[in-house]
Each structure stands twice: as C-alpha cells, then as structure tokens.
Amino acid sequence: MAYDAGDIRVAGIASIFLAPLDTPFPAWGVPPDDPWVDLGYVTPDGITANYGREVTEIYAMQSADPVRVISTRTPKTIGFSMMQQGRDQLILAMGGGTYALEALETDVYRYTPPSAAVIDERAMLVEMIDGVHIYRWEYKRVQNREGVEQTLQREDSANFPVTMQILTPADGSAPFNLITNDPAYAPALPLTTDEQDEEPVEDETYEKVRT
C-alpha cells in the first residue's frame, strides 16, 4: 500500500445507539429510530474498541520457540463514558432497573436498581462520520460488564463510564459487522491476464527508504 493521507480517518462525528436485544439494525442510509436510543454526548476520550486475543503456546523439548499456538479466547469490549444524565444512561450503567413517579408527585421520579439476577443484554450500533465516509459497527449482543464509578465534582461533568462486553449471538453468527462506504475498504479486484503477465516494478518510495 502506498502512502496516502487521504486514507486517514478522524471521528468527526460519533454516535452510540442502543436497542433491545434482537432488534434489526437500520438499513444503510436510514437513521436509527425507535426503539433505537441515542446515548448522546460522550467524553473527549471518545469510544475505545478492544478486540483481544488470548493464546496458549505449546513448546516441545527440542525447541525454545513455540511449535504451535492455539487461540483460546477472543474477548471484545467497547468502552466509553456518557456525559448526559437520563433514564437510558443510568439504566445502562446500572445494568437495569426501573423508574416510577414518586408517590403523588407529577414531576418527581424514583429509580430502583435491579436485582443481581437481572441480565441486561442489548443490541448496539456505533456510527462514525468523517466527511463523506460513514462507518457503522453493528454489535448484535452486548452487556455492560463493569460496575458504576461516578464522580460528582464542581469543575467537571458527572459521567457514566461503561465497558460493553461483546457477546456471541444466540444464533452463533459473527458477533459484529462493520458497514462502510469508505472506498479504502473495497475488496481487491482479481488481476487480469495482462496484469498477471507484467514484470513486478519495485516501489521507488521503498527503494529511497532502504537506501
């Protein structure tokens, strides 16, 4: 691949949407609507995706290097910190819960946290826009895996940090998909017969770096 600053992407606009588990993802070009919920502002740290891989190395008596590597786990998480206060944000951070009117009041609300047995699994959509390039990560089954640590202070916002664990869908399909109109991700076209017969040409940029 040649050097191309035009392929560098910045998350100029990023949004996180949640919906009940098994909610269909919106079609390309269609904004998410009910039951999808926009979580609003996140802190300047942004959205952190972690696609891990844990392996077991097998050694032989005759070799100081592994003779085989077995992939044992592929943990995946999406971390972000929500800045806006609201019912959807608190329920996500707390892993569930319910709201109700407070006694006879009409504009006072009581939140009750969930029991330890509640499993709050959702579908999640992360959308990033950089100019004309749009990225959509579709996570089919996620759950907040962390407890809540919220700091109340005078000089900063009271945020809800969460780490969403990406789980295997019930149907055994891939846990997520990336949908984008970015031409940098276009599949490579197969070589034509003429291209296959051409002599390879050494990259001049690489040659300058080597020398």
Classified as helix, coil or strand, 61 is: coil
- Is 138 within 8 Å of 30 (Cβ atoms)? no
Separation of alpha carbons 178 and 76, rounded Å: 14
d(CA 24, CA 17): 12
How much is the pTM?
0.82
The Cα 108–Cα 181 span in angstroms is 45
pLDDT tens track for 54-66? 999 999 999 999 9
Residue 82 · residue 89 · CB < 8 Å: yes
| pLDDT at site 208 | 46
Query: Exposed, middle or buried: residue 108 (CB in 10 Å: 0-12, 13-18, 19+)?
Result: exposed
Mean pLDDT of the chain: 89
Question: What confidence tens digit (pLDDT) does each residue in 137-189 have?
Answer: 999 999 998 888 888 989 999 999 999 999 999 999 999 999 999 999 998 87
What is the domain partition of the chain in residue ranges? 5-210
Measure the CA angle with vertex 172, ends 78 and 144; round to 5°. Answer: 25
